[in-house]
Structure 1
Amino acid sequence: MLKLGVLGVGAIATVDYGVLPNLHHIKDKVQLVALCDPIRDRAAEAAKRFGAPEVYDSLDAMLAEADIDAVVNLTPIPAHGETSLAILRAGKHLATEKPLAATMAEADAIIEAARAGDLRVVCSPPNMLYPTRIEAARLIREGVIGKVAFAKIRASHGGPASMMNWPTDPTWFYQEGSGPLLDVGVYGIHEALGLLGPAKRVSAFSGITEPTRVVRSGPYAGKEITVTTDDNTLIMLDFGGGTFAVVDGTFNVNAAKGPRLEVFGRAGTLNLPNNINQNGGRGIDLFLLEAAGGLSGWIDLDLAHLEPAQRRVDGLRRALLADHLADLVAGTAPEVMGADVARHALEIMLKAHESARTGQALELETTFPW
C-alpha cells in the first residue's frame, strides 16, 4: 500500500476528473494520508471532503512529519521543478503534473535525485496509458501502416478565457511561465513521442495572436487579460529517417471536426478520435492500401478487448498518475510516464520557443529508452 501525500488542492486535485475524487478506485493500492496547500483552509476543506487525516500548509512540514511514501505534485507550472526536487530529496516517490520542470537544469536535477534515491517518477500527461494509444503504438511498431512518413497531432483548445464558465481566474495561463505549449501542447508532444519514439530536431513558429483576451463567462466574465507569453505555437519534429510530426500548442482552436491524431504510413493511415474525453477516445480508424484482395479501404477494427481497460481509465481519470506510480513502486508495470520522456518533452518545448525566435531548426540533446 502506497501512503500518499498530495501537494496542491486546486482544480486539478478536486474537480470531478481530478486526482482526489477518483483515488477511491485504487484504495487497494493507495492510502491518502495528507494534503498540503499554502491556503490551509482550502486544504482542510479538501481533507474533510476526501478523507485525508492530515493537513499541512508547508511542503517542508509534510515531508518532515507525515508518514508518506510518495507525493502527487499538483502545484502551478512554475513551481514544479523546485517542489519536485524537494520531494525526491526527502526520499519520496513522485507523481507530478506536467511539465516536469521549467528548465533543463531542474529536469536534470530531478532525474539525478530520483536515480540517487532509487525513487520512481511519474509525469503527466497520462495519454499513453489510454488503451487506444497503447493499441495504436502497437500497430505502428508492428508495421501495420508501413514506414511512417509523418503525423499530425492537434492538442489545442480555445483557452480557459474562451471556455464556458471557467471556475477560476484564468489570467496565469496567459502569463510568462505558462502558456498553451506547456499547458496543452505537451499532450500532443507526449503522444508523438509515445507513438514514434525520441525526436532528433525541432523547429517552430510561435507568437502572440492578440495582446489581450477577455474572459467569456463564469465568475471572471468580462475580465481583460494582458497576454505576455506566446499563445500560438506550431511545432515540427524530425524523428530521423524521413519521419516527421506536426504538433500545435495554441489557445486558438475553438472548434474542430477532424481527428485529433493522424499518422500517415507508406502502407496505410491511422487516425485517433477528435477528443480523448469524448466517449473515452475509444475509436481507431485504420486505412490500408492492401485491405483485402488487393483493394484499399478503411478497416473496421474490433476493439472490444480494450473495453475493460478503457472502463478503468474512464473511472480513474487524473488519478491515473497515482495508479501508475503505485504500479511502478510495486514493480507490476512497465514505465510509461517516466522522467526521461518528460525531460525530452520539456527540451522540445523550450527549444520550440528558441527556434521560433531564431528561425533555426535545433538539435535535441536528450533522449529516452525506445
Structure 2
Amino acid sequence: MEINYNYTLPKTSRPIIIFGAGGIVNDAHMPAYKKAGFEVYGITNRTKARAEKVAEKFGIPRVFDSIDDAIAQAPENAVFDLTLMPNQFVDTLEKLPDGAAVLIQKPLGDYFEQTKEIIEVCRRKKLIAAVNCQLRFAPYIMAARNLIKQGAIGEIYDMEVKVTVHMPWELFPNVMYHPRLEIQQHSIHHIDLVRSFLGNPKGIMAKTLKHPGKEMSSTRTNVIMEYGDDVRALVSTNHDHIFGHNHQESYVKWEGTKGAIYAKMGLLMNYPDGVPDAFEYCILEEGKKPEWKSMKLEGSWFPDAFIGTMSSLICYANGETDKLDTSVDDVLDTMHVVEAAYASSDAGGIAPKYDSI
C-alpha cells in the first residue's frame, strides 16, 4: 500500500517577512523555510539584536528597524509571518496592506473576545489569513490522513490523543504563568487536530487541572469531544510525569472498522530534545490475525510541519488551490471548542445524589 505524506509545495514562491525572532523562529520557522527553499526577505523584532542574530544564523538579507519599517519596504506579493504574542495581533494586522497574505501564530487570541477582534480585522481588510496550526502537517499526521482518505481503515469510530510527559515550562517564560495555560497554549493543537479529522463536535466535556506543587494555572487536561453514539474522541494530557521515560506516552491513535493507525509524537517526550517518532498501522484481513506494520517517515513535527502551513498559505494566495487548510475562519471553530472546554471545566461535573435512597 502506497502512503503519501508529502506537502504540496507552491509552484511560485513568495518573499516572507517575519515579525518576531523568538525561539519558535530559530527552532522551527527558519529551519523549515530553509529546507523548503522559501525566500525569507527580511525579519524584525522588538529587540533588534535578536533579529540580527537570527538573520546572521540563517542568512536573512534584511533586518528591519520595526514592523512599520518592514511593511513599508515589503514587496507587493509578500507573505507576513506573525510570530508575536496574541495581544499584538490586532494592532499588527491593522497595519498590513488590505488583501495581504499573513500566517498568524497560534493561538488565535488569548481569550475569545480577542479572537473576535482578530477575525473582524482579517475580514474587514480581506486578508488572506491562516493560523499556524502546524500539527496538522506533521509527517505522521499527513501519512495517517492519506491512509484514511484511501479508506484503508474504514469508518473511524475512535480517535485518541494521549500525552503523558514532563514538560519544562520554564522554556516558555512568556506563557508559563498564563491563566489559561494548558488548553489555550498546548491542547489547542490536539483539539484542532481532532477537528481536522472528525469535523466540529456536537458537545464538549472537559476538565483542566493544576499541579499541587506548581504555580501554573493548569498542566493536565481531559477533553471529550462528542460526535455521536458510536464515536469516541478524547484528548488526555499530563505534563507532570517526572518519573523517568519508561512510562511516558505521546501518541495519536485512530481506530476504524477496517483497521487502526498509531503515531508516536516523539517531540513531546524528553522535550526539547525529543525521541524518534513512530508510525504504525494495522489493516484487518479476513481469516488472518491482526498484523501491525511500521513505516519510517522522513522529517518530524519540528521543523517539517511548518513547511506545510506556509506552503498551504502561499499556494492559496497564488490561486494554485482553492482550499486554505488552516484559515482563520476554520480555526475560529477550534477556538469555539477551546472556549467550550473552559466553560465545561469551570462548570464541573454532575454530583452524584448520594443521599437519594
Using the size of structure 2 for normalisation, the TM-score is: 0.78
SS of the residue 1:198 aligns to = coil
Shift of 1:204: 0.6
Q: Is the 8 A contact 1:87 1:94 kept in 2?
A: no
What is residue 13 of structure 1 aligned with on the other side?
Answer: 25
- Where do residues 231-310 of structure 1 align in structure 2 (5 Å cutoff)? 231-254=219-242, 255=245, 256=247, 260-275=251-266, 281=277, 283-288=279-284, 291-292=285-286, 294-300=287-293, 310=298
Shift of 1:43: 1.6
Rate the CA distance shift 1:60–1:211 in 2: closer, same or farther, 3 A.
farther
Shift of 1:238: 0.8
Distance 2:304 2:293 in 1: 28
Cα root mean square deviation, aligned: 3.2
Distance 1:250 1:259 in 2: 10
Shift of 1:241: 4.9
Rate the CA distance shift 1:314–1:179 in 2: closer, same or farther, 3 A.
closer
Shift of 1:141: 4.6
Shift of 1:156: 5.7
Shift of 1:147: 3.6
> What amino acid is aligned across from residue 176 of structure 2 in structure 1?
Y
Q: Is the 8 A contact 1:186 1:249 kept in 2?
A: no
Shift of 1:88: 5.1
Distance 1:42 1:143 in 2: 48
Shift of 1:230: 1.7
Paired residues, number: 328
- Where do residues 22-41 of structure 1 align in structure 2 (5 Å cutoff)? 22-27=32-37, 30-41=38-49
Distance 1:140 1:341 in 2: 21
> What amino acid is aligned across from residue 140 of structure 2 in structure 1?
T
> What amino acid is aligned across from residue 285 of structure 1 in structure 2?
Y
SS of the residue 2:340 aligns to = helix
Structure 1: gaps spanning 5 or more residues: 213-225, 362-370
Shift of 1:57: 4.6
Q: Is the 8 A contact 1:181 1:249 kept in 2?
A: no
Rate the CA distance shift 1:280–1:89 in 2: closer, same or farther, 3 A.
farther
Rate the CA distance shift 1:80–1:100 in 2: closer, same or farther, 3 A.
farther
What is residue 127 of structure 1 aligned with on the other side?
Answer: 135
What is residue 4 of structure 2 aligned with on the other side?
Answer: none
Worse overlay, 148-157 or 31-40: 148-157
Distance 1:155 1:36 in 2: 35
Of the three residues 308, 311, 332, the one matched with 1:323 is: 311
Q: Is the 8 A contact 1:263 1:270 kept in 2?
A: yes
Using the size of structure 1 for normalisation, the TM-score is: 0.75
SS of the residue 2:324 aligns to = coil
- Where do residues 1-370 of structure 1 align in structure 2 (5 Å cutoff)? 1-15=13-27, 18-27=28-37, 30-67=38-75, 69-76=78-85, 78-79=86-87, 81-83=89-91, 85-86=93-94, 91-141=99-149, 143-155=151-163, 157-161=165-169, 168=171, 170-177=172-179, 179-212=181-214, 226-227=215-216, 229-254=217-242, 255=245, 256=247, 260-275=251-266, 281=277, 283-288=279-284, 291-292=285-286, 294-300=287-293, 310=298, 316=304, 318-333=306-321, 334-359=323-348
> What amino acid is aligned across from residue 197 of structure 2 in structure 1?
L
Distance 1:74 1:252 in 2: 27
Distance 2:93 2:230 in 1: 38
**Percent same amino acid at aligned positions?**
17
Render the CA deviation track for 1:136-159: whole Å, top value 9, x for unaligned.
Answer: 234435554344332210246422
